[in-house]
Amino acid sequence: VAQDIILDFLRDLLGDGRERLIIAADELGLLHRTLRDLESLDWTERDLASMRLGRYGLEETVPDLVKALRDRNIQVRYTAARSLGLIGTPEAEDALIDILDHPDLIDAPRVLEIVQTMPNHGLRPLQRMLSSENHPLEAKLLAIDLVGDLRVYALIEELLTILNSSSKEKVL
């Protein structure tokens, strides 16, 4: 019950109040239990644990969520990716770029939702994807679509550069 109350309050709290609530959750053993649930044999427990970690928003849980991106259950992978998007650290961004590079791990509509939950609609990871040639064509096309779908005007310069590409798919 305490965990549900804490997670509900964490949606709206910022700053000192949020930090105090996370300390309380840690003292109650909720963070440890959540990390333990990531290893559960039951995929629904792993999924809920991934969701809770996103709500807690702790940078130190990023490696655990990155590991969950390789879970055998697609729902757990999706929830872990969404939680990484909520946390928004550079490591989380790296993991999300890895997801974009492997669209077989999560389908495109879910990637769109993940990027929408990120601060600034995933501006930095999308910019990195568009600016680099080190990504598969399918991943690059997905990033281009996301920028358009989300209307990320800050990336217009990157899109204009892509218009000069020799790749007809990218230009289209």
As a residue count, the chain comes to 172
pTM value surpassing 0.85: no
29-35 contacts, C-beta under 8 A, 24 or more apart: 30/2, 30/3, 30/6, 31/56, 31/58, 35/61, 35/64
How far is it, in rounded angstroms, from Cα 26 to Cα 119?
Answer: 25
Determine the residue type at 9: F
Amino acid at 4: D
CB 85 within 8 A of CB 115: yes
Instruction: Report how far residue 19's alpha carbon sits from residue 161's, in angstroms, rounded to the nearest whole number.
Output: 43
Sign of CA dihedral 63, 65, 67, 69: negative
d(CA 133, CA 39): 36
Tens-digit pLDDT profile for residues 82-123 = 888 888 777 777 777 777 777 666 666 666 667 766 766 667
Question: Mean pLDDT throughout 68-72?
Answer: 89
Residues 6+ apart with CB under 8 A from 17: none
d(CA 28, CA 114) in angstroms, rounded, equals 30
Identify the weakest region by mean pLDDT among 54-63, 73-82, 119-128, 142-151. 119-128
The answer to whether 142 and 111 are in contact (CB under 8 A) is yes
> Sorting pLDDT into bands at 50, 70 and 90, what band is 49?
very high
**Angle, in degrees to the nearest 10, between helices 108-117 and 137-150:** 50
- pLDDT for 42 equals 96
The per-residue pLDDT for 69 is: 85
